[in-house]
Amino acid sequence: VLLRFKDSITALDGEKHDVIHRKAEVNAAVSAELFKMLEQEKIPTHFLRLKEATLMQVRRLRMIPVEVVCRNIAAGKLVKSYPFFKHGEKLKTPLVEFFLKDDKRHDPLLSEEHMIASGLASKEEVKKLKMITLKVNSVLRKFMLKRGLLLVDFKIEVGRDHRGTLRVGDELNIDSMRIWDKKTGEVKDKDIYRKGGRLDEVARTYYQSYKLILGRDFK
Ligand code: C5P
């Protein structure tokens, strides 16, 4: 399967929509690097290779229509939904959450029981999904820390390959995670856009994060 990355950027379940010059190249390169790293750590992904700057060749997966979120620091929906999480507070333990991919219903939170009772995933798969997500968290968190970034949270999507093995699919980049500068707390991800930042500011953040994550200038 070939995945084409796009320059479009969306928020608020697709209500807000813009184009960021060369964002596709940034996100494809970051995704490729992070998927390679996960594979090296023995986490199965769909990644095969980056064929062109914005075209990724991947294994075909039957996707589970669920967004698996993992959080280390309280932010975003967690802070909006519950009174006891304060923005920026370190969580006592990494938190794994499942959300149904359904923009019209604003991606409702799914319990493990919802996942199993609906047949979205088996009990064994739910257990594996959590294990994969926590392992991705541990690998990604260490990687970001070495680059001066705090991994606040991220989202992955998982699918089954032809053997039924669960693999991390979709994308993993600046659109799908919150990363903050370790020293200054500065936001280095899509929240700049979600919070109404100017488009040139959003673009600059993507190019800067490319440099931080990949260790080379975005040319
Ligand atoms: O909005 P929320 O706080 O639930 O987001 C948690 C994490 O999941 C963030 O890193 C966000 O970028 C990511 N996310 C995503 N796609 C969505 C919803 C959340 O990549 N549709």
Q: How far is CA 39 from CA 47, 66, 102, 168, in A?
A: 8, 22, 29, 10
Query: Is the minimum distance from the CB of 43 to ligand 1 under 6 angstroms?
Result: no
* Confidence class for position 11, pLDDT limits 50, 70, 90: very high
Under 8 Å between Cβ of 136 and 165:
no
Over the stretch 98-113, which tens digit does the pLDDT of each residue have? Answer: 999 998 999 999 999 9
State the pLDDT at residue 62.
98
pLDDT of res. 126: 98
CA of 58 from ligand 1 middle (Å) equals: 23
Q: How far is the CA of 75 from the centre of ligand 1 (A)?
A: 10
E-strand stretches of the chain? 2-4, 8-11, 16-19, 47-52, 55-58, 62-63, 66-73, 90-100, 109-110, 149-156, 158-160, 166-168, 177-181
Q: What is the pLDDT of residues 52-84, one digit of tens each?
A: 999 999 999 999 999 999 999 999 999 999 999
Is the model more confident about 49 or about 15?
49
Q: Are strands 16-19 and 158-160 parallel, antiparallel or unpaired?
A: unpaired
How many Å lie between the centroid of ligand 1 and the Cα of residue 193?
13
Which residue's structure tokens are 């006592």? 92
Q: What is the mean pLDDT of residues 11-36?
A: 95
Average pLDDT over residues 7-27: 94
Q: 184, 149 in Cβ contact below 8 A?
A: no
Give the model's pLDDT for residue 213: 98
Quick check: CB of 77 below 6 Å from ligand 1? Answer: yes
2 membership: H or E segment, kind and range: strand 2-4
Q: What angle do CA 103, 106, 112 make, to 5 degrees?
A: 105
How confident is the prediction for the chain on average, in pLDDT?
97
Count the alpha carbons within 13 Å of 219 in the hemisphere toward its beta carbon: 3
Token couple for 188 = 């280095």
Neighbours of 81 (CB within 10 A): 9
- pLDDT number for residue 158: 99
Looking at residue 12, its pLDDT comes to: 86
Residue 14 has a pLDDT of 81
Assess whether the C-beta atom of 140 lies below 6 angstroms from ligand 1. Answer: no
202: pLDDT strictly greater than 90: yes
Q: What is the pLDDT of residues 124-170, one digit of tens each?
A: 999 999 999 999 999 999 999 999 999 999 999 999 999 999 999 99
DSSP state of 187: B
Q: Is the beta carbon of 151 within 6 A of some atom in ligand 1? A: no
R_g of the chain computed on alpha carbons? 17
User: Residue 197 carries which side chain, given as an amino acid letter?
Assistant: G
The token pair that represents 199 in the structure block: 């488009």
At 40, which amino acid appears? Answer: Q
- pTM of the predicted structure, to 2 decimals: 0.98
| pLDDT in the model for residue 13 | 81
Q: Which atom of ligand 1 is nearest to the CA of 97?
A: 4
SS3 80: helix
Q: Which residues contact 162 (CB under 8 A, 6 or more apart)?
A: 60
Ligand 1: does its nearest atom lie under 6 Å from the Cβ of 98?
no
Closest residue by CA, ligand 1 atom 20: 176
Q: Does 35 contact ligand 1 (Cβ within 6 A)?
A: no
Instruction: Report d(CA 68, CA 155) in Å as an integer.
Output: 5
176 lines ligand 1 (CB under 6 A): yes
User: If DSSP codes are grouped into helix, strand and coil, which group holds residue 175?
Assistant: coil
Which uninterrupted H or E stretch holds 155? strand 149-156
User: Which atom of ligand 1 is least distant from the CA of 80?
Assistant: 3
